[in-house]
């Protein structure tokens, strides 16, 4: 991971801010009766209106402008014509390309009244993301982040997804290093000051395996929990500074 040049950092901030604003806007549509295709259209139009490109669209053949992962979907859910219903949880994962720079952020939203279990799982996923982010400082390791995430999630009685994690990001969508949601302190690549990574733990209700599905015409896969219990996720794009970190994906 190469550090960003000084003039590139404001561009990452702008891309991140736009992704965050888009996600905030899209989240208002996480309501019963709204289809994930409608949310896709909202994200698509909002992104283009801001002079940006929705990064998922056409990425390794991905057919839509946003990922929408409902209930037991872990990630990379493809928007469709299924209406959301009361009690669902939905992760909306927005990535935009502004002036050549990527901003990537997601949140899990509640559709109407959700179960106590769904609320607790979602709370854990959000706090787990922050536990990981708080480890970020120059020359900390990816293992420090993963260790902090997994420790917190385990303590709260849930399970991290080990197969999928965060990534380096900048002028490409997915670069080095890989950011696992588990690990050992001090292990893994060191974080480079003035580069960006995402922290995006996926947290499952049970330790069931993950169930992989093809997307027609795409190399991207989507994933359910094998036992169809719930999965929740939050994601920020984060800059490693000379002192610690700065969140790029803030509104
Ligand atoms: N936004 C996802 C991530 O956090 C990647 C989605 S790739 C897509 O890394 F093709 F499914 F859109
Ligand atoms: Co990401
Ligand atoms: Co994302």
Please list all protein residues whose beta carbon sits less than 5 angstroms from ligand 2, which is an ion: 104, 198
Q: From the CB of 234, is ligand 1 less than 6 Å away? A: no
Q: Which atom of ligand 1 is nearest to the CA of 93?
A: 1
Nearest residue to 237 via CA among 200, 198, 210, 203: 198
Is the distance from CB of 84 to CB of 111 less than 8 angstroms?
yes
Q: From the CB of 220, is ligand 1 less than 6 Å away? A: yes
Q: From the CB of 205, is ligand 1 less than 6 Å away? A: no
Dist CA 190 CA 141 (whole Å)? 4
pLDDT at 1: 77
Q: From the CB of 105, is ligand 1 less than 6 Å away? A: no
Q: From the CB of 135, is ligand 1 less than 6 Å away? A: no
User: For ligand 1, atom 7, which residue shows the shortest CA distance?
Assistant: 56
Q: What H or E segment, with its residue span, contains residue 17?
A: helix 9-27
Class of the CATH-defined domain 9-247:
alpha beta
pTM score of the predicted model: 0.99
Helices 116-133 and 142-155, interaxial angle, to 10°? 150
**Dihedral angle, C-alpha 167, 163, 180, 64, nearest 10 °:** 30
pLDDT at 2: 87
Q: Between the CA of residue 83 and those of 31, 33, 206, what are the distances in Å? A: 9, 5, 26
pLDDT at 221: 98
pLDDT at 126: 99
pLDDT tens track, the chain, 251 positions:
789 999 999 999 999 999 999 999 999 999 999 999 999 999 999 999 999 999 999 999 999 999 999 999 999 999 999 999 999 999 999 999 999 999 999 999 999 999 999 999 999 999 999 999 999 999 899 999 999 999 999 999 999 999 999 999 999 999 999 999 999 999 999 999 999 999 999 999 999 999 999 999 999 999 999 999 999 999 999 999 999 999 999 99
pLDDT at 42: 98
Is the distance from CB of 177 to CB of 211 less than 8 angstroms?
no
- DSSP letters spanning 197-221: EEE--EEESS-PPEEEEE-TT-S-E
Q: Is the dihedral of CA 177, 69, 215, 45 positive or negative?
A: negative
């Amino acid at each position: 991971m190469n550090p960003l040049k000084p003039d590139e950092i404001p561009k990452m901030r702008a891309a991140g801010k736009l992704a965050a604003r888009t996600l905030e806007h899209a989240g208002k549509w996480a309501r019963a009766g709204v289809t994930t295709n409608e949310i896709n259209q909202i994200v698509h139009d909002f992104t283009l209106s801001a002079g940006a490109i929705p990064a998922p669209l056409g990425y390794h053949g991905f057919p839509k402008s946003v990922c929408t992962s409902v209930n037991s979907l872990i990630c990379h859910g493809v928007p469709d014509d299924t209406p959301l219903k009361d009690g669902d949880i939905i992760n909306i994962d927005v990535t935009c390309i502004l002036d050549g720079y990527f901003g990537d952020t997601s949140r899990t939203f509640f559709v109407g009244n959700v179960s106590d279990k769904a609320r607790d799982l979602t709370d854990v996923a959000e706090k787990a993301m922050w536990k990981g982010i708080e480890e970020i400082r120059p020359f900390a390791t990816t293992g420090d982040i993963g260790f902090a995430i997994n420790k917190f999630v385990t303590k709260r009685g849930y399970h991290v997804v080990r197969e999928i994690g965060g990534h380096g990001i900048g002028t490409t969508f997915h670069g080095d290093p890989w950011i696992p949601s588990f690990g050992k302190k001090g292990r893994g690549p060191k974080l480079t000051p003035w580069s960006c990574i995402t922290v995006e733990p996926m947290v499952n209700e049970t330790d069931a395996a993950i169930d992989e599905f093809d997307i027609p015409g795409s190399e991207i896969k989507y994933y359910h929990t094998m036992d169809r219990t719930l999965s929740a996720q939050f994601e920020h794009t984060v800059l490693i500074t000379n002192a610690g970190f700065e969140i790029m994906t803030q509104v």
